[in-house]
C-alpha cells in the first residue's frame, strides 16, 4: 500500500474484526464529548493581542493544533483497514472544507494539510490560515481542478469512470493524482460546524478512500462562565479498541487545559494521568 505500511493487530479480535465487519460503515461508532476550551480560548486571545502576524489565530486553529499533538502521540489513530488488512500511514493528514463565502451559494473547497512533526501548534495555525486564504483567493486547488474536469463529463461516461476509480481504490491502486488533496484519504476529516453557528453532529464514514475518523466541532458556548464546545467523533472501531480511543479524547482535553504546549513541536510527547 503506497504511503502506508501493514501492521499486525495486537490481538485476535483485531485480526477477526475486518472479516466480521468487512465494511467501514458497519464498524463505525460515534460519541460526543463536551470540551472545556476556556484556557485554550484565553491562550488564543492573548496570542492575537501580542502577535504581529497578518493573520489571526482562531479557536478552530487551536483545536486543530491540539488534535495534531494527539495524533502524533497516539499513532494507532492514523490507521485504516483495506482488503481486511490493517495499515498505518506514513504521514498524518488533516482535512476540512472551507467555503469561499458563508452563504447558500458559497462553494465548498477541499483543504488537506500534511502535518510536519517538527512544526509547532502555532506554526500549524499559520499554515492553516495561509492555505485557506490561498484557496479562497484562487477559488480552487489542484484537486478541485480535477473534480471540475470529471464533473463536466456526461453521466454515461462519468459512471464507468467512477466505477473504475472505485475498483482501483478497493485494491489500493488509486493513482496519487486522485488521492492527494482528497479528504477521503485523510487521517481525519474535521467539520467546523461552529463557523455556521450549528451544533456538532454525527457524520458517517465513507467506504471510498482510507479515512477512518471524522470529527465535527459545534458552536462554542459559555457554560457556568467557561467556554465549552461539543465535539462529536465518528470512527472505525477496527483500527483500535475503545480504551485507546477514550484515552486519546482525554489527551485532547488535557492539551486544551495546557495550551502552552502548542508552542512545542506537534510530535512532543505529552504525559498525563488518564
B/e letters for 198-212, b = 16+ CB within 10 Å, e = fewer, are eebeebebeebbbbb
| Average pLDDT score over residue span 5-30 | 92
Identify the pLDDT of residue 99.
63
Strands (DSSP E) found in the chain? 4-6, 28-36, 79-82, 85-89, 93-99, 108-114, 188-192, 213-217, 221-223, 226-236
Cell of 201: 453532529
Q: For 84-139, what is each residue's pLDDT tens digit?
A: 999 999 999 999 987 655 555 556 778 899 999 999 999 999 999 888 887 777 66
Q: For 32-42, what is each residue's pLDDT tens digit?
A: 999 999 999 99
Contact 28, 234 (CB under 8 A): yes
Identify the pLDDT of residue 91.
96
Cell of 109: 473547497
Cβ-proximal residues to 70 (8 Å cutoff; 6+ apart), any chain = 77, 248, 251, 252, 255
Q: Is 224 left (phi over 0), alpha (psi -120 to 50) or beta?
A: left
- Region 4-263: CATH code: 3.30.559.10
Q: For 42-66, what is each residue's pLDDT tens digit?
A: 999 999 998 877 788 999 999 999 9
Measure the CA–CA gap between 82 and 77, rounded to whole angstroms.
Answer: 15
Contact 227, 37 (CB under 8 A): yes
Q: Which residue has the cell 458556548?
A: 221
Measure the CA–CA gap between 70 and 62, rounded to whole angstroms.
Answer: 13
Contact 231, 216 (CB under 8 A): yes
Identify the pLDDT of residue 102.
57
Pairing between β-strand 213-217 and β-strand 188-192 as defined by DSSP bridges: parallel
pTM, to two decimals: 0.91
Show me where the domains of the chain are located: 4-263
Q: Kindly list the distances between the CA atom of residue 196 and the CA atoms of 104, 201, 259, in Å, as whole numbers in the listed order.
A: 11, 13, 25
Q: Kindly list the distances between the CA atom of residue 158 and the CA atoms of 178, 184, 203, 207, in Å, as whole numbers in the listed order.
A: 15, 19, 26, 19
Contact 120, 43 (CB under 8 A): no
Residue whose C-alpha is closest to residue 202's, from 214, 187, 194: 214
Amino acid at each position: 500500500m503506497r504511503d502506508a505500511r501493514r501492521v499486525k493487530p495486537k490481538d485476535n479480535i483485531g485480526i477477526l474484526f475486518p472479516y466480521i465487519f468487512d465494511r467501514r460503515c458497519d464498524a463505525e461508532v460515534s460519541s460526543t464529548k463536551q470540551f472545556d476550551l476556556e484556557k485554550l480560548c484565553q491562550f488564543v486571545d492573548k496570542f492575537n493581542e501580542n502577535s504581529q502576524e497578518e493573520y489571526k489565530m482562531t479557536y478552530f486553529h487551536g483545536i486543530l493544533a491540539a488534535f495534531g499533538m494527539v495524533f502524533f502521540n497516539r499513532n494507532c489513530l492514523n490507521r485504516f483497514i483495506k482488503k481486511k488488512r490493517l495499515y498505518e500511514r506514513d504521514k498524518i493528514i488533516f482535512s476540512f472544507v472551507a467555503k469561499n463565502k458563508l452563504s447558500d451559494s458559497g462553494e465548498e473547497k477541499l483543504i488537506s494539510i500534511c502535518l510536519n512533526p517538527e512544526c509547532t501548534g502555532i506554526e500549524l495555525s499559520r499554515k492553516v490560515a495561509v492555505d485557506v486564504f490561498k484557496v479562497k483567493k484562487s477559488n480552487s486547488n489542484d484537486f478541485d481542478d480535477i473534480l471540475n474536469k470529471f464533473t463536466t463529463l456526461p453521466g454515461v461516461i462519468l459512471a464507468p469512470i467512477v466505477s473504475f476509480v472505485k475498483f482501483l481504490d478497493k485494491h489500493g491502486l488509486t493513482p496519487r493524482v486522485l488521492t492527494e488533496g482528497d479528504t477521503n484519504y485523510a487521517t481525519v476529516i474535521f467539520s467546523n460546524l461552529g463557523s455556521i453557528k450549528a451544533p456538532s453532529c454525527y457524520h458517517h464514514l465513507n467506504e471510498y478512500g482510507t479515512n477512518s475518523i471524522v470529527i465535527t466541532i459545534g458552536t462554542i458556548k459559555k457554560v457556568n462562565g467557561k467556554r465549552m464546545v461539543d465535539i462529536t467523533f465518528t470512527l472505525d472501531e477496527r483500527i483500535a479498541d475503545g480504551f485507546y480511543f477514550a484515552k486519546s479524547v482525554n489527551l485532547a482535553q488535557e492539551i486544551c487545559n495546557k495550551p502552552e504546549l502548542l508552542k512545542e513541536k506537534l510530535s512532543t510527547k505529552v504525559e498525563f494521568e488518564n
